[in-house]
Amino acid sequence: MATRAIKQRTARCMGRNVAALLFALFATTPSMTQAAVESVAPVKLWCDGEAGGCTYPTDIEAAKAVELTYNSRYAATNPYHAYLVIVSCNGGGLCLYHFVNDLWTTVDGPLYLRRVLGCPIPMINPAIPYTYKYASGMCEREAQCPAPNTINPATGQCVPPEILTITLEGGTTTEPGTSLPFIATIKNQDNQPPKTPVTVKISLKVDSTSGGHDHGDNTRPRGGIANVGTCPSDATCWSEPSPANNGVVVFNFNAPEAAGTHTITATCEGCSNAATKAVDVKVNGIEPIPNFPYYALVETNGDVIGATDLHSNNHNLLPAAAGVLMRIAVNYHFHPKLRVLDWKTNTMVLPPPLHINDASLVWGGKFDIKGKWTGSHAEHMRGTSVDLRANENVGAIPPELFEEFDKRLMKIIPGDVTAEKFLRECSPNEKPSESNPNPVQHNRRPENYCVSQVDGSFDANRHYHVRLLGE
Amino acid sequence: MKILLNCIIAILLALVARPGVAGLLPGEGIVRDPVTGNYTATYVEEGEDGKDWIEKADFETATKIDPTVRSKFRHAEGWNTGYAYTINNGNAAKQAINNFDLDGLPINVVLLNTTPLLGSGKVVLEEFFDSAMTSPSEKWSGSGARNGQALNIGWLCRGWDHTTKSHNTASGIQPGESASGFGFTSPDLPGVFVAKLTGNTRYHHFSFSGPGPNPYRSDIGKEMAKIANNDFIPRDVAAPLIIVPDVFNAAIVLDRIRAHVATWAGRQLVNPAFAAQLDRYLVAAAEAYRLNNPKAGKEHLETLRRMLAKEHHNVDHDDEDDDDGEERKHATRFSIDRLAARVLDFDLRYMLKRMEHEHKESEHKKGRD
């Protein structure tokens, strides 16, 4: 009787398995759907033959359920105290049973289990089951993990959304015209990278009057980020998604030629903060030219020589260059071959102290004389060059001393080449502009003492440009 | 056919006109005038509005001279050496020589009679060399300075004309003329040095209207700097290169002479075989003095002197010029340059005399003890 019952059960299982296999689909991980519905893919489950008994993820579990049900249902009531033992299952629904009674009669035989597609038991609130929906082909129930929370697929737990923070690492100073690397790192509240790629946005600002540029304005070059040469505004200049889940974006800050303080700001989609980093674009080591009795940095009326409203602090050099300038000043003032004629007394007298015009701005960098962030004067960037007055103003080196002064410069200035240690400079030819499309090209040349080749007028800008360190 | 020919010519011209230097911007280039030898450069200059403009600059070379420099060096009082130079400008020259520079001497070379400029606390603010340097005339001025790397000295013939208030390009040693009287005295011994001579031009740079291209950052600027920096005529002269220490030590001085002589083969002043022989004896002499064997040292030095005498006539005549007599020129194969031989012979004679003196001093001291 018992044997027959088992055989019938196994036969039913076999027949149903065919239908179940036809209905089979691959299981998927749970995901959130819209309108607060929690939806999971159906999974294959093994049945124990009871109503609502297709709930077992493995065949051995289903078989053990059969064993338990049978023994509790029949063993106590049958006269032979027969009981059933499941010996093994092959994972495909074929199990081996061992049937024994108290008459020591044993029967071994196969037990065939069926498998159907069904809804898994929810891990969160398992008392609220999924219901299979034909329309979607999914198992659904009212969401137990409402947005913005999400279910962690690994743990099945409903977790709150990631709270992302961004940090910015990189240097704080760089030289004009160079690149400085930065790393933006995004982490969540667990100090882990974000689980999905996040777009990082970088913007760049510049303190418009920093670096000695008193004329600061909103056209001031900010520099660039990564492959963007110049950021045109304070808005986002460059953005990039962090590569797959590592939360790190690397980029360069491309410093402009003008020195100053720049602020790099990094944000990201979903970040709770903005990371900023201030970078001083400057030539390191530049210092104010020290006072010295044999050169003059100010006029007798107290005005700083060469200073303008655009750049009021124009007397800065590297200390080594300032040392050479001092030697040049001492030589100029005391060298016995460098004497000037005093017309009042008709005697040769010591020349006045050298009058020092533009050197470098406080942090070096581009010295845009006209305050337009462009133009030459390029060699005044590094704290190594200085202009010495050589026109017809008070304190200027007179033309009759040019040759001897040239010789002194060649001997004193370091370097093994001679010709490029200094230049005598005149005003450059004026370039056409909208307001003056055809300017007069005076073409003032140093060998002609900066006298116009057009009308013979003298160039009041004549000066020595001295490369104090030989470069 | 004519059109095709014109096309070919145009392509060839375009190829020829291409700047020969990598990194030049469009429109930039340097052209040498084959007649005058001067250069004209076109270069890009950034205007104040950030736009680029083509500018032009000329360079008048200062090498249209034909200099010969004769070096004299003789023992002066107190173990010093007097150096003197006579410069001749050949008839073929087109410029007057107005610059004679010995730039790049060892920084610790001493010149006698420099004038220290003292600051507060008697700190030497500057050392003026003009008082240590003699010149042919008032028009010439000698000057020098140590620039942290080397001692640079030189003479300039001033060209400023007070009447016209401009530079007189005729000042200096005219073609076909000579000037002597360039000199100084030093305790340091002579070696063979390359002097730089230039002709009188109004300006030894490219004459830019404005600052010109940067000689260190712009490629055209670098090329222009190269031209300007090499704008001189080099000539071998005797100059103080062997530093004699305050406390005389023969082995150290001989080591220094040897180190200097070792550079001569590379400068084609001596052939390698002869250089090797010189080196062998200089090493042996230094070693002998180091081992306190002055007799052997003296023998090695005398051997060296005999080797030099074999190669050149009157090598021990300090006031001789650097030319051998005609008969000698034809008779002698090249083994060592005459100036180099004279310089080395002078140094060896100095060593022999000095060691003899040291020996006598030592004997005298022993006698007193």
Distance CA B261, CA B197 (A): 24
Residues contacting A60, CB < 8 A, separation 6+: A86, A88, A89, A95
Residue B246 — pLDDT band, cuts 50, 70, 90?
very high
How does pLDDT run across B173-211, given as a tens digit for each residue?
999 999 999 999 999 999 999 999 999 998 989 998 888
Q: Which of B128, B205, B211 is nearest residue A336 as measured by Cβ atoms?
A: B128
In this predicted structure, what is the pLDDT of residue B268?
94
Best B200, B205, B224, B226 residue to mutate vs chain A (most A CBs within 10 Å):
B205
What is the average pLDDT across B67-90?
A: 96
Element (H, E) at B295: helix B294-311
Beta strands in A146-254 (DSSP E): 150-151, 158-159, 165-170, 173-174, 179-187, 199-206, 224-225, 236-241, 248-254
Distance CA B172, CA B199 (A): 8
pTM of the model: 0.77
Q: What's the whole-number average pLDDT of chain B? A: 88
Q: How far is B194 from chain A (nearest CA, A)?
A: 13
Residues contacting A417, CB < 8 A, separation 6+: A470, B225, B229
How does pLDDT run across A254-294, given as a tens digit for each residue?
999 999 999 999 999 889 999 999 999 999 999 999 999 99
Distances in Å between the Cα of B167 and the Cα atoms of A163, A289, B62, B202, B341 are 78, 33, 15, 6, 41
Q: Which of A410, A130, A73, A428 is nearest to B228 (CA)?
A: A410
Greater pLDDT, A144 or B325: A144
Distance CA B263, CA B260 (A): 6
Distances in Å between the Cα of B327 and the Cα atoms of A255, B269, B331, B334 are 71, 21, 6, 14
In this predicted structure, what is the pLDDT of residue A35?
44
Measured from the Cβ of residue A66, the count of other Cβ atoms closer than 10 Å reads 25
Residue with tokens 């300039």: B156
In this predicted structure, what is the pLDDT of residue A137?
87
Distance CA A325, CA A434 (A): 40
Q: Which of A289, A298, A291, A295 is nearest to A352 (CA)?
A: A295
User: Is the pLDDT assigned to residue B266 strictly greater than 70?
Assistant: yes
How does pLDDT run across B293-320, given as a tens digit for each residue?
999 999 999 999 999 998 887 777 666 5
What is the average pLDDT across A380-392?
A: 95
Beta strands A94-100 and A106-112, pairing class: antiparallel
User: Is the pLDDT assigned to residue B73 strictly greater than 90?
Assistant: yes
In this predicted structure, what is the pLDDT of residue A29?
38
Per-residue tokens: A21: 């296999």
Beta strands B115-118 and B140-146, pairing class: unpaired
Provide the β-strand partners of residue A341.
Answer: A348
Q: How far is B59 from chain A (nearest CA, A)?
A: 10
In this predicted structure, what is the pLDDT of residue A14?
40
How does pLDDT run across B113-126, given as a tens digit for each residue?
999 998 888 888 89
Yes or no, beta carbons of A426 and B209 under 8 Å apart: yes
Residue A190 — pLDDT band, cuts 50, 70, 90?
confident
How does pLDDT run across A100-126, given as a tens digit for each residue?
776 777 788 899 999 888 888 887 778
Distance CA B182, CA B137 (A): 9
Q: How far is B139 from chain A (nearest CA, A)?
A: 11
Provide the β-strand partners of residue A39.
Answer: A31, A140
Reduced to 3 states, what is the DSSP secondary structure of residue A17? helix
Distance CA B87, CA B95 (A): 14
Distance CA A69, CA A73 (A): 6
Which residues of chain A does B207 touch, with a Cβ-Cβ cutoff of 8 Å? 445-447
How does pLDDT run across A282-292, given as a tens digit for each residue?
999 999 999 99
Reduced to 3 states, what is the DSSP secondary structure of residue A316? strand
Beta strands A463-467 and A385-389, pairing class: antiparallel
**The residue type at A7:** K
DSSP assignment of A262-294: EEEEEEETTBS--EEEEEEE--TT-EEPPP-TT
- Answer whether B123 touches A (CB < 8 Å): no
Q: Which of B101, B149, B212 is nearest residue A414 as measured by Cβ atoms?
A: B149
Q: Which of B130, B204, B210 is nearest residue A337 as measured by Cβ atoms?
A: B130
**Residue B131: DSSP 8-state:** G
Residues contacting B48, CB < 8 A, separation 6+: A368, A369, A370, A372, A374, A375, A431
Distance CA B285, CA B355 (A): 12
Q: What's the whole-number average pLDDT of chain A? A: 86
Q: Which of B345, B349, B368, B346 is nearest to B357 (CA)?
A: B349
Q: Taking a C-beta distance cutoff of 8 angstroms, is the pair B105, B120 a contact?
A: no
Residue with tokens 């493995």: A58
Half-sphere exposure of B177 (CA within 13 A, CB side): 14
